[in-house]
Amino acid sequence: MSQKSVVVVGAGLGGISAAISLAQESYAVTVIEKNGHVGGKLNQLEAEGYTFDLGPSILTLPHIIERLFKRSGKRMADYVTIRPVRPHWRCIFEDRTVVDMTPDDQEMAAQLEKIGEKPEDFDRFRQYSEALYELVNDGYFEQGLDNTSDFRAHYGLLGLARFDVFRNMHQGVTRFIKTRYMRDILEQFIKYVGSSAYRAPAFMNCLPAIHSLHDLWYVDGGLYNLARALDRLLDEVGVTVLLDTEVDQIITVNGRATAVEITGGAQIPADFVISNMEVRPAYERLLKEDDRFLRKLKRFEPSCSGLVLDLGLDRQYPQLAHHNFFMSGDQPKHFHTVFRKREMPTDPTVYVVAASRTDPTVAPAGCDGLKILPHIPYIDDENPLRHEDYVAFRDVVLDKLERMGLTNLRQHIVFEHMLTPHDIQDMYYSNKGSIYGVVTDRWKNFGFKAPKKSEKYENVFFVGGSVNPGAGMPMVVLCGQLVSRALVAQDRGVVGAQSAAATRAQPA
C-alpha cells in the first residue's frame, strides 16, 4: 500500500509535533513554512553578544515534548539540555515587597510569612490546584476532548462539578488566599494563556500545579535550541520541510481538501491537510470562507498580544532573578483595561527575563540582556494603534521598571529591539497579533479553543494555540500528538473518530 500524504501548513511547534507524530506512523509528511526557520513563535534574536528568546522563555511540562523523541527510540537529552530554574518567579510589588515563588517548602514558608499569608491556606490552594490539574490532564489534555459533549461523556455530570464551574479563576483563588500579594501572584498564572483571571473559568487554577508537580525549566543556550533539536528530529524521521514557502490556498473539492497552493501557483497534492496557521485566518485566507461562516468562529476571540522589548545592557541588575514580574499596583484594573476595555494599560504587570542568571552564555560578561513583555490588547482592526502609540507605551514600561528599582535603566541600554502586535501578526500570521491563540473566557467559550478537526472539511485538521487544548509550548505539542492520533484513527477506520476523544488515548 502506498504511503498517504499529509501537508502541514506552518512549522510552529504544533505543526512540527503533528508532522513528527505522523511520520512515526509512516505517513509521507511535508511541512510548508513561510519563514526561513522552524519553530514559529519559538524564535531567537542574536545581536552584539546577546541572545534573546523572542517568543517563549518558560518551559513547562517537558515530558510532553520528550514523547516525540521517545517514540522514535531517542533521548531528548541527546539533542538538548534542560535544567530547572530557581526561583521559579520573582514578584516585585510597587511597595518594594519581593516574593519568590519556589518549589522548596521551607523557602516558600519564609516567603509566605513575609507577606502574612498563612502556609496552611497556601497549602490548601496547592491541593485544590493539583486536584484540578489531575482532572484537566486526565481528560481535556490527554484524551483530546474538544467540546462540552466530549466533556460530559468523559467526566459525567458529577465529574463536571469538580471543575468548580460556578467560579472564575479569581474567585477560585480568593476561596483560599487572603493577602493581595499572593492573590495577585496566583492570578498572574493566567499569563500562560494570555487571558484575564476575572474572565477565565476557575479550573484554570490548574496552572500553578504545573510548577508544583512538574517544575519550571530552561533550555541551555536559549529556548530556541528546542526548535533546533526538533528540526533535527524532523529530518531523522523523514519529514520534508519547505522553508520560505507560503501556502496561499487549501484547494477543496466536494468538502475534501485535495492539495495546497503555494505562492507562485504550484500545487502540492495531499490526502490530509493540517493547518498550523491559526483557525480564524486559515478559514478566511486559505479556505476562503465567507463572512457568514466566519461569524460562527466569533467565540474563538484572540488572546492578548504583547509588546516585546529586548534590551542589551552594559551592566547587570543583581536584584533580578531569571523570571521577574513587576506587578501592577492595581491588577484587577490591569485585567479590566486589557481584556474588557481593550485599551493600553497605564500600570501594566511587566514580565522581565534575565536569562543570564541561569545561563551566562546569553549575554556578555557582567551584562544583562533583558526580555521585557507586558501584555496588551490584540489589534483592533477598526481603530488600530499607531507605531508612536507603542513607542509611548514603551516609555510607560521603562518608567515603571526604573521606578521599581532598575535605576537609570535607559542609560544602560546599548542594544534595543522591539516587536509590536503588528510585527507579531506579520511574522507568524497570528490572529490580530495574538500571542497565545484563542482567549480563555468562561462566557465566550468556557475555555474551549477550536476543535482539532474541521467541522466543514472531512480531511482538514488544525493544530496550535487556537486549537484545544490551547496555548503554550507543551500544549501545542500535545495538540500535535492528539491531531495525529485523531487523523490516524479516522484514516484507519477507528470508531468514526469525529473527535480525538472518540479514539481514547493510549498512555504516552
Ligand X SMILES: Cc1cc2nc3c(=O)[nH]c(=O)nc-3n(C[C@H](O)[C@H](O)[C@H](O)COP(=O)(O)OP(=O)(O)OC[C@H]3O[C@@H](n4cnc5c(N)ncnc54)[C@H](O)[C@@H]3O)c2cc1C
Q: Is residue 276 a contact point for ligand X (CB under 6 A)?
A: yes
DSSP designation for 338: I
Q: Is residue 309 a contact point for ligand X (CB under 6 A)?
A: no
Q: Is residue 434 a contact point for ligand X (CB under 6 A)?
A: no
Closest CA to 478 of 498, 445, 449: 449
Could you give phi then psi for residue 377, rounded to 5 degrees? Answer: -65, 155
**Binding mask 5-24 vs ligand X (x if CB under 6 A, - otherwise)?**
----xxxxxxx---------
Q: Is residue 433 a contact point for ligand X (CB under 6 A)?
A: no
How far apart, in whole angstroms, are the C-alpha atoms of residue 42 and residue 37? 10
How far apart, in whole angstroms, are the C-alpha atoms of residue 274 and residue 29? 10
Peptide bond into 469 cis (omega under 30): yes
Q: Could you say which residues in the range 287-306 bind ligand X, by CB under 6 A?
A: 306
Burial 116-146 (b: 16+ CB within 10 A, else e): ebeeebbeebbebbbebbebbbebbbbbbbb
How far apart, in whole angstroms, are the C-alpha atoms of residue 396 and residue 309? 13
| Minimum distance from residue 186 beta carbon to ligand X (Å) | 18
Extended strands (E) in 281-412: 305-306, 308-313, 323-326, 350-354, 369-376
| Minimum distance from residue 436 beta carbon to ligand X (Å) | 5
Q: Is residue 208 a contact point for ligand X (CB under 6 A)?
A: no
Closest CA to 208 of 228, 188, 224: 188
Q: Is residue 217 a contact point for ligand X (CB under 6 A)?
A: no
Instruction: Give the total residue count for the chain.
Output: 508
Q: Is residue 487 a contact point for ligand X (CB under 6 A)?
A: no
Closer to ligand X by CB, 177 or 478: give it: 478
Of the candidates 99, 101, 247, 478, which one interacts with ligand X according to CB under 6 A?
247
| Minimum distance from residue 385 beta carbon to ligand X (Å) | 17
DSSP designation for 381: T
Contact 250, 34 (CB under 8 A): no
Closer to ligand X by CB, 302 or 437: give it: 437
Name the one range near ligand X by CB under 6 A: 112-120, 327-335, 431-439, 489-497.
431-439
Q: Could you say which residues in the range 78-137 bind ligand X, by CB under 6 A?
A: none
Closer to ligand X by CB, 335 or 428: give it: 428
How far apart, in whole angstroms, are the C-alpha atoms of residue 43 and residue 37? 8
Name the one range near ligand X by CB under 6 A: 52-60, 65-73, 164-172, 213-221.
52-60
Q: Is residue 143 a contact point for ligand X (CB under 6 A)?
A: no
Q: Is residue 377 a contact point for ligand X (CB under 6 A)?
A: no
Closer to ligand X by CB, 128 or 448: give it: 448
Q: Which residues bind ligand X (CB under 6 A)?
A: 9-15, 32-35, 40-42, 55-58, 246-247, 276-277, 306, 308, 373, 424, 428-430, 435-437, 464-465, 471-473, 476
